[in-house]
Structure 1
Amino acid sequence: MMGGQSNTSAPARRPGILGPFGIWIAAAVLLAVMPAIFNSPVSVTIMNQMGISIIFALSYNMLLGQGGMLSFGHAVFFGLGGFLSVHVMNYVEYDGWPIPLPLLPFIGGLFGLAFAVIIGSFSTRRAGTVFAMISLGVGELVAACSIIFVAFFGGEEGVSGDRTMGPPVFGTEFLKEIEVYYLTAVIVLIAAALMYLFSLTPAGRMANAVRDNPERAEFVGYSQRQVRFISFCASGFFAGIAGGLFAVNYEILTEENLNLVTSGWVLLMAYIGGIGFFIGPIIGAVLLTLLQTVLSNHTELWLLYVGLLFVLTVMFVPSGLTGLIMMHGPAYKAGRLPNLTKPYLIAGFPLLVALAGGVAVLEMLHHFNNAPVGDTEAHFFWMAVDTHNPIIWAVAIGVTALGTYATCKATPQIREAWSAANDFSTKGDGR
């Protein structure tokens, strides 16, 4: 599904001006103008990383979101596809192989597919915890092999290449980041469209059925193992494309690109964004890439904030950020969404105050424990504060407590407004 679940009882809508391809055309236009909107070399690099993360997260969603397979080793296919792409890049440079650079990500995808066929042949026999543990074991095995088999993985130093040594493509040698960005954008569109089309195929639909009720899928004549195997192989192919695109962008692959940390990172992207929706991993990939590239430049505790975001998502919004947005669909269609504006504002302001106070306390605590002797000044929120001043501590803790208390007091009002906005038992708009 591109957005949320379809409502079969709703009246049919006329297709938009651009037809069923409207959202894809809009995405292509957005990708084309983004370099002009964020006109800086750093922004282009961040957008390239976003594109890689989007393909990687969508490929993982084919496992967890569509097939219900929780994997802790998905970075294996990402890393293997990237390593082969770097090697092919070197063959192009030193042996003169006439392979254009835009084909490298797809070569990496085929390598990821080959290993997905091998690994999936035994790992997809079971689902649930067994599959998760097998994926964890395979991931650790390949990560260990990356240190042992130096000829292919390059040991601790990894393998590097030069993307500019290949044959020019329409006069483009990919010397500039902006040229690599447009290549990344095209591949992102192609890969995302193919993954979306896969979700509409019988194999993609049956993956959802096997996820929800494997016994019933078997009853109607489909082998749940074969369905999982097909999804697993397709997921490995697109993860390999993401790895190949990583090799094109950064021209180096190391053990970090296929270890458990990378597998955990893609899980966070997919889950925080929302695994129940096709667009969910895209939102998660964009958000976590921003946290990794932008927030990490301002605080050393950025990983702590990512972990807190994941925990809060699991506890309060299991459907992810996209699910949180889609929950407002019925109220929007009924014209009752404005009724939620005032309660959200009443609770949103103290919530922001509580978050700001909590971040201040964490940053001050980190500075107090890790700053050099004599350094008493911490910098955050574009301010400088003395972490050895008890008054500053009292203010930060007090702001956090007051914001939390005000948010808790406003919560019943939100619940009441939410119930009223989603009460369709009576006719009319309910106001």
Structure 2
Amino acid sequence: MAAARPTTNDPVRAPWRCAPWIALAALLAVPPLVSAWLSPEGVPQGWLLTCLAQAAAMIVFALSYNLLLGETGLLSFGHAAPAGLGALAAAQVFNHAALPLPLLPFLPFVGGVAGAAVGVLTALIAARRAGTAFAMITLGLGELVAAAAWALPDWFGGEAGVAIDRASGPAIAGWTFGPQREAYCIIALWCLVASVAIYAISRAPYVRLANAVRDNPVRAAALGASPARVRAAMIVLGSAFAGVAGTLALINVELAAAESVGMTRSAGVLIATVTGGTASFFGPVLGALVWVGFSVGVASVSRAWMLYVGLFFIVVVLAAPDGLAGFAVRQRAALVRHGWRRCRAYWTTAAFAAGCGTLALVLAVQWAYALRFGDDDASAWLAALSPLATGALAAAIVVLSLAAAWLTRRAQRAAASLDEARKECV
């Protein structure tokens, strides 16, 4: 899954190196400002701030996971443990240590320290292993923590979780951190700070050593590096930032739930990171946004959102093993090499094929869910169609599927012609 990160000194690309950071800052700042400007009260919409806060926490979570998977080649199935335990520790400290309100913006430090402690314990057990062995060890540790969450209700809070009141305390310069917009300012700022910190770490010489351990641990050991120590250091770093991400989610919803340490959350960050691409720093950022789009946007209109996530993940792994970021880089290179006119046929055909296939899939899935769940599903109207309309719907699904297959064939031919043109140029 992990690939070597390409490096270049091309001066033409230099002006574009800040573009992803500008886009990330704009994503976090522009929508709330526009929402406040359009609102009669001058306040951003609460649902928008909640979604952006979820995206910010997921971005930090995915970037922390990429320190393991992308930089060190460690596939972890228990990355939710440091995130959930970090949030839980932060909630317990906030509630029982009676932290004053001005220290709320520094609460992610507590989660980060707790996450690092979990990472130390994980490293003591799993750092000597890699590959499948490491994945199975982290899977067992993750399930152990998930079981403990229900076995120790006094610490984990049981089904209710551990709640906090972020507005408990006197106002500071008019800020109580109770309104969602004030909490979102903390989360967005921490997202940017943590992203910059992870970026700096990923460019450090020690992470280049982690790349060497990922690619060839035997040779790295022959050069004097200890693969176990390198893996341990990266596990601790990744777990610390996972604890920060978990605390950001805690500040957003004011609850550290027992489900936050489960396998579902670990699978979510794995899907987000691989979907975005592990070879690019901003690949996990893109994957995190895609995951939030599915888990919030699609889930709000269809109970089949997990099915769509699984299918999308399979398509990405098969069609673009280097993730969406790698796919975008390859398409940009094709544009530079062949020009817009030669790429237009392939892109247009592929876009229509994807659109027809997606529409056919959505219609079929929503129809099946409507027949299965009836009025409990948002697409229940599909089950109430007349026999004539039902036949038309089935015919539309078949036609769209055939069109998608035909257009996919055309897109493959267009891609093959571009490859032949590239070989001729070489």
**Superposition TM-score, scaled by structure 1 size:** 0.89
1:25-40 → structure 2 map (5 Å cutoff): 27-38=24-35, 39-40=44-45
Q: Is 1:197 matched with 2:200?
A: yes
Following superposition, the deviation at residue 334 of structure 1 comes to: 3.4
Shift of 1:310: 1.0
More divergent stretch after superposition (408-417 vs 80-89): 408-417
Q: Which residue identity does 2:77 align to in structure 1?
A: F
Deviation of 1:40 after TM superposition, in Å, equals 2.2
The one-letter code sitting in structure 1 at the alignment partner of 2:119 is: A
Calculate the aligned-residue CA RMSD, in Å: 2.8
Select the residue among 63, 71, 87 that pairs with 1:66. 71
Deviation of 1:12 (Å): 4.0
| 8 Å Cα contact 1:78/1:239 also seen in 2 | yes
Q: Note the C-alpha offset of 1:210.
A: 0.9
Q: By percentage of residues, which structure has more helix?
A: 2
Determine the C-alpha separation between the residues in 1 that align with 2:121 and 2:379.
56
Name the CA distance, whole Å, in 2 between partners of 1:267 and 1:335: 34
User: Distance in 2 between the 1:269 and 1:291 partners?
Assistant: 11
User: Matched residue of 1:264: which SS?
Assistant: helix
Evaluate the alpha carbon distance shift between residue 26 and residue 260 of structure 1 in structure 2; reply closer, same or farther with a 3 A threshold: closer
Paired AA for residue 418 in structure 2: W
- Residue matched to 1:414: 414
Identical-pair percentage: 34
Q: Deviation of residue 30 (structure 1)?
A: 4.5
Letter in 2 for 1:88: V
| Matched residue, 1:425 | 425
Letter matched to residue 61 of structure 1: N
1-structure distance, mates of 2:309, 2:23 = 30
- Provide the residue aligned with 1:107 in structure 2: 110
Alignment check: 8 A CA contact 2:159 2:257 kept: yes
* Structure 1 letter corresponding to 2:250: A
CA deviation after TM superposition for structure 1 residue 393, in Å: 4.1
Query: Which amino acid letter does the alignment assign opposite residue 132 of structure 2?
Result: T
1:121 partnered with 2:124: yes
Q: Please tell me the residue identity of whatever aligns with 2:264.
A: V
The alignment status of 1:54 with 2:51, answered yes or no, reads no
1:210-229, aligned counterparts within 5 Å?
210-229=213-232
Q: Is the 8 A contact 1:376 1:388 kept in 2?
A: no
Deviation at 1:63, TM superposition (A): 0.6
Q: In 2, Cα distance between the equivalents of 1:281 and 1:379?
A: 37
8 Å Cα contact 2:116/2:243 also seen in 1: yes
**Which of 85, 89, 92 in structure 2 is aligned with 1:87?**
92
Amino acid at match of 2:50: T
Q: 1:415 to 1:40 in 2, by over 3 A?
A: same
Identify the residue that residue 244 of structure 1 maps to in structure 2. 247
Tell me how far 1:179 sits from its aligned partner: 1.3
**2:39 is matched with which residue?**
none
Supply the distance in 2 between the matched residues of 1:119 and 1:176 (Cα, whole angstroms): 37
Q: Kindly provide the CA deviation profile for residues 248-282 of structure 1, in whole angstroms up to 9, marking residues without a partner as x.
A: 11111111100111111111111111111110110
Q: Which runs of 5+ in 2 are unaligned?
A: 36-43
Aligned to 2:41: none
| Counterpart pick for 2:346 among 334, 338, 343 | 343
User: How far, CA to CA, are the matches of 1:343 and 1:384 in structure 2?
Assistant: 39
Measured against aligned partners, the alpha-carbon deviations of 1:297-341 in whole angstroms (never above 9, x if no partner) come to 111111100010111122221111111111124324436244211
The residue number in structure 2 matching 1:281 is: 284
Query: Aligned residue pairs: how many?
Result: 416
Q: 1:326 to 1:116 in 2, by over 3 A?
A: same
Task: Tell me the CA shift for residue 367 of structure 1.
Answer: 1.1
Unaligned runs of 5+ in 1: 427-431
What is the deviation of 1:378? 3.6
Contact 1:203–1:230 (Cα < 8 Å) also in 2: no
Q: In 2, Cα distance between the equivalents of 1:387 and 1:276? A: 51
Deviation at 1:400, TM superposition (A): 2.9
Matches within 5 A, 1:7-406: 7=8, 11-13=10-12, 15-16=14-15, 24=21, 27-38=24-35, 39-91=44-96, 95=98, 97=100, 100-166=103-169, 168-334=171-337, 336-371=339-374, 378-379=380-381, 385-386=385-386, 389-406=389-406
Q: C-alpha distance in 2, partners of 1:372/1:24? A: 45
Kindly provide the amino acid, as one letter, of the partner of residue 54 in structure 1: I
